[in-house]
A and B are shown apart, each in its own frame.
Chain A
Amino acid sequence: MQNILNAFARALGLITSLDREVFSIVLLSFCVSLTAVLFSSLLSLPLSLLLALKKFSGNRFIVNTINSLMAVPAVAIGLVVYLIISRRGPLGILELLYTPWAMVIAQALLATPIITSLSYQALKRVGSMVKETALSLGASGWQVVITVFKEARSSLMVAFIVGFARVIGETGMTMMVGGNIKGATRVMTTAIALETMKGNFELAVALGIILLIVAFVVNIIMQVVQGAGR
């Protein structure tokens, strides 16, 4: 018991003294996960808009496929990304393995089905009505797209937050492709796993506390956004 309390006390000390190692890990975590969600959104937004507003053959199939992809285990994505970017893989020449970009790619792949599916549901709900109304009031194609996104803004925001929360908390996959290299690819989740195994609880607990705070803050933002959308 004393051990745990000591670890907590020292962890708080690390946080309050703005320990360099702790904060470089936190910063990298945020950079990797935000970049991943940003890239994922660049694909998810147009795709979900297309699926929600355009009727074409194969539409239903793509939606079902995306929904199924949400269930793919993260570790499987990690394995696929590893095989593709490892030295002998098709993209081995880019030397991405064990770099932050490898983590970004894997996390983006993990987030894309989630963000696309949630955005699709949001856009499907209001999309056709907004589109019709905007067109009837003289909107051009682009003006319709902007209006649809604007109307679905709070639900889309929730989709990004859910995607971000999913990837920032991911451990196994991130470790597989990032390698958990100190000062280079060590992020909060991989550091916690490693330090716990080493018995170095103070750093693990400090990062754990920050990760929990992140989870709470994300949750609060999500509730505020959803409240504003009503």
Chain B
Amino acid sequence: MNIEAKKVCKSFNGKKVLRNIDIKIAESRINCVIGPNGAGKTTLFKILTLLDRATSGEIYFDGSPSSMISPQEKLKLRRRIGVVMQNPFMFNTSVRNNVAYGLKLRGDGYLEKKVEEGLRMVQLSSIKDQSSLTLSSGEAQRVALARAIVLEPEVLFLDEPMANLDPLSMKIIEGLTLKMHKECDITIVMATHNLLQARRFGERLFVLRQGEIIQQGTAEDVFQYPNSSFAAEFVEVGNLFRGRLIIENGTQKLDLGKIRVEIVPRPEFEKTEASVFATVRPEDILLSLEPFHSSARNSFFGEIVNMQDRGGIIWVTMEPFPESPDAKAELVSIPFVAVITRRSQEEMSLRVGMRVYFTFKASCVNVVVGER
């Protein structure tokens, strides 16, 4: 099913919650809507799944505007869409009856078999007769997922499916989502504020901030080339710099104050002296104890000011010395972050206070002019 939102706005009591949302859900892909809490993800989901109406704008299903279709058609459409809400509501009955609910509504002939299968997939067959009011939040989330997938939807919306879950439930839900996507070719739309998840799953990403989609594209696009400082900070780009574009010796550079970073020349940058921001992924910065001879245009000498272990990967924060250092030169307080493995750290015996060289290519600098 093809779902598209055009100029969708939503207000509650005069407060705008969604503004001019233009998105097209990529079919047969995992779509991730990322944004902090309160960005409007749940409201957007409710509108896309026909559980709520937009204040203005239109949702198109397979090209047909949803406001023009009859209630019967709307019901048929809703029955092709599966939804799992962030804190799913459980009907006051057994786990089994909760999973059977949607099938009963449709008068499905294979009810028993499908319910069994659904519960088996979320590994809850053993508690099928238990009251659903006694479930933990992880179990409830799994029952809600089973309740949605037994209906064999073409598109599955998951609103923060793994927020605050125990590791087992998280693993089951993650695994099942990927399996459904691969084996059944269903379109998945997932709202999350978990970046690792978005990066791992998301084939198409939408960044939502204060009710506005500020960037959309592939995971590669969004994580490598965030188009706003918000997106950059939100996707933890690691290195976010603000500076001015300048031309030095015929080369375009980014002036950060006491240091200058070389960038890939672009004609539109030539006439501008605008304030811009730039990002560099930590994994694109190379760390060495000796000067590193390569084609990379940016190389700095500096000192390690912080090291943070993030589960086997170490985030190393360095500050550079000014480009023309004198004997009394002090560090420039512009932190650069690089990632290294624990093994590299041990091999190089890196520690805070050590002096190192760090190098990166001009092509790794993502410059954004005219931030939204």
Contacts and interface: CB of A to CB of B under 8 A. Distances in A.
B121 to A, nearest CB: 17
Contacts of B71: 141
Contact of B75 (A130, A138, A229): A138
A65 interface: no
Contacts of A133: 85, 88-89, 91
A143 B92 contact: no
Instruction: Tell me the dominant secondary structure on chain B's binding face.
Output: mixed
B1 to A, nearest CB: 14
A-B residue pairs, 10 tightest by C-beta = A137-B102, A136-B83, A138-B79, A129-B89, A133-B89, A138-B102, A139-B105, A138-B105, A140-B75, A143-B105
B148 A137 contact: yes
Nearest to A137: B102
B106 A151 contact: no
Given A132-B51, A133-B85, A138 B151 contact: yes
A134 B105 CA distance: 9
Interface in B80-107: 81-83, 85, 88-89, 91-92, 101-102, 105-106
A162 to B, nearest CB: 21
A136 B85 contact: yes
Interface in A108-163: 126, 129-130, 132-141, 143, 147, 150-151
A136 B51 CA distance: 7
13 contacts: A129-B89, A132-B46, A132-B51, A135-B78, A136-B49, A136-B83, A136-B85, A137-B83, A137-B151, A138-B75, A138-B102, A147-B91, A150-B91
B260 interface: no
A135 B106 contact: no
Instruction: Tell me the dominant secondary structure on chain A's binding face.
Output: helix
Interface in B47-88: 49-51, 71, 75, 78-79, 81-83, 85, 88
A179 B228 CA distance: 81
Contacts of A141: 71
Interface in B97-139: 101-102, 105-106
Contacts of B148: 136-137
B361 interface: no
B85 A132 contact: yes
A49 to B, nearest CB: 17
B147 interface: yes
Interface of B: 46, 49-51, 71, 75, 78-79, 81-83, 85, 88-89, 91-92, 101-102, 105-106, 147-148, 151
A91 B83 CA distance: 54
Contacts of B83: 136-137
A152 B367 CA distance: 57
Contacts of B75: 138, 140
Contacts of B89: 126, 129-130, 132-133
Contacts of A147: 91
Interface string A189-230: 000000000000000000000000000000000000000010
A138 B91 contact: no
Nearest to B81: A136
Contacts of B92: 151, 229
B106 to A, nearest CB: 6
Contacts of A139: 105
A137 B71 CA distance: 16
Contacts of B79: 138
A151 B91 contact: yes
A126 B90 CA distance: 11
A141 B75 CA distance: 9
Contacts of B91: 130, 133, 147, 150-151
Interface in A79-94: none
Contacts of B101: 134, 137
Contacts of A135: 50-51, 78
A134 B106 CA distance: 12
Contacts of B46: 132
Contacts of A138: 75, 78-79, 102, 105-106, 151
A125 B92 CA distance: 14
A112 B79 CA distance: 38
A40 to B, nearest CB: 25
A55 B310 CA distance: 49
Contacts of A129: 89
Contacts of A143: 105
Contacts of B147: 137
Task: Give the residue among B51, B82, B92, B151 with the most A Cβ atoms within 10 A.
Answer: B92
Nearest to A138: B79
